Amino acid sequence: MSLEDQVWTADDAISFVKRQGIYAEAERLQAVEIGDGNLNYVFRIQSADRDKGVIVKKAVPFLRVVGETWPLTEERASIEAAALRFQNEVASGYVPEVYAYNPDDHAIAMEDLSDLEVMRSALIKGEHFPLFTKHAAEFLARTLFWSSDRSGKITEKKERAAAMVNPQLCEITERLILSEPFYDAPGNRIEGGLEEDVEKLWGDTEVIDTVFSLKDKFMSCGQALVHGDLHTGSIMVDQAQTRMIDPEFAFYGPIGFDPGLLFANLVLNMIHHEVLGHSPSYREYLLAAVEDIWTRFTDEFCELWRVTSYDGVFHNDRTEHSYILGVLQDTCGYAGCEMIRRTIGLASVADLADIQEEKARIAAKKASLVIGSDLIKLSSRAESIDEFVAVAKSLDISPVVTPSGTER
């Protein structure tokens, strides 16, 4: 089958929602593709007769950002649909509602969140969201606890874990986050001016050995159903709502992976504002968000654990502390890996890539490599979230341009 035969047009998306009974056959619809083009085709379907539309997400059997040379199973759409349904069950209001999933089409119809804003874009503009930390913490605590053995739902967990095996998407993570940024891989994108910094990173045996352990845990430790791609580009927000989207990378993995990716992207945004000389108070806002999410997340996770009492005599202050400490250390390590891969790996982020002034952009990337490396090293000894924040604060990131945009 050719590439042309595998793609969907707007008309295909319209046909899909009508076949699923979401819209009547006679209803006049418009569809526009809104996806970023990395993995899937995503369409917004709208009707003149309804206020809100429907989002259709269609999986294709290759990685769109690379092409047909990187094949993928279309079954990943079933993983995403199952993940969204579970997340809606245990953390209602924090993910889009699924209206329909058809395995023959490998397509999902879901709630339209176009009235919300992608969080990455909002943070780059310096916006504040007073409810975000509460919402993010509750999402993390409820989805990770209720999918873990700590919930006591052992049979359900094993059945769900068997159904949520996601090898090809996990391989993308293993390659792009936990492998290729740490050696001279063809897919890396190393901007001129970073060569010495990258060589130093690759020669740091403590970093390399720790990343090996983090990768091994990612591949073998099925603690809970993790979102798998929880960065600020996968979060939609406004002043009252927070929605986590795109869990197609979901699988049973280490609990610390989700907060690690989220915290890394908050720190990347902090660096963005630092090198551009924006208000220092925004750095404090972002780092306070990291602390608040962690505290709320772990408090609720442990409270749920106490209420269920599944582990009985084995659940006490000592085991609780040790368990959460392990999650914290993993969080630090995966955050560091995410920062490094977003700096020199295949898929960058706007927080770094869209800094127009070259000196500022290089300074931001240098800072990201240092903080990322330090967080990886911290993962073997971290005792509190304060140490994570201290690493993010430790680097003196002087503004490279003034707030007006002129170079210093």
State the pLDDT at residue 75.
79
Four-point Cα dihedral 63, 120, 133, 84, nearest 10: -30
State the pLDDT at residue 8.
87
Map residue 56 onto helix, strand or coil. strand
pTM (two decimals): 0.94
What stretches in the chain show pLDDT beneath 70? 1-6, 36-38, 62-71, 401-408
For 351, the token pair is 């927080």
Domain spans in the chain, listed from the N-terminal domain onward: 3-111, 117-394
Would you tell me how many other CB atoms lie within 10 Å of the CB of residue 288? 12
CA 10 to chain centre: 27
What are the residues whose beta carbons fall under 8 Å from the beta carbon of 64, sequence distance 6 or more?
Answer: 37, 38, 39, 40, 41
Q: Which CATH class is domain 117-394?
A: alpha beta
- CATH of the domain spanning 3-111: 3.30.200.20
Contact 345, 189 (CB under 8 A): yes
The residue among 294, 336, 266 whose CA lies nearest residue 140 is 294
Element (H, E) at 268: helix 257-275
Element (H, E) at 97: none
State the pLDDT at residue 247.
96
Q: Is the dihedral of CA 117, 122, 128, 129 positive or negative?
A: positive
CA distance 70 to 75: 15
State the pLDDT at residue 401.
61
State the pLDDT at residue 276.
95
State the pLDDT at residue 287.
98
pLDDT tens digit sequence for 250-277? 999 999 999 999 999 999 999 999 999 9
List Cα–Cα distances, 37 to 33, 58, 62, 116, in angstroms. 10, 11, 11, 20
State the pLDDT at residue 1.
39
Map residue 54 onto helix, strand or coil. strand
State the pLDDT at residue 67.
55
State the pLDDT at residue 2.
42
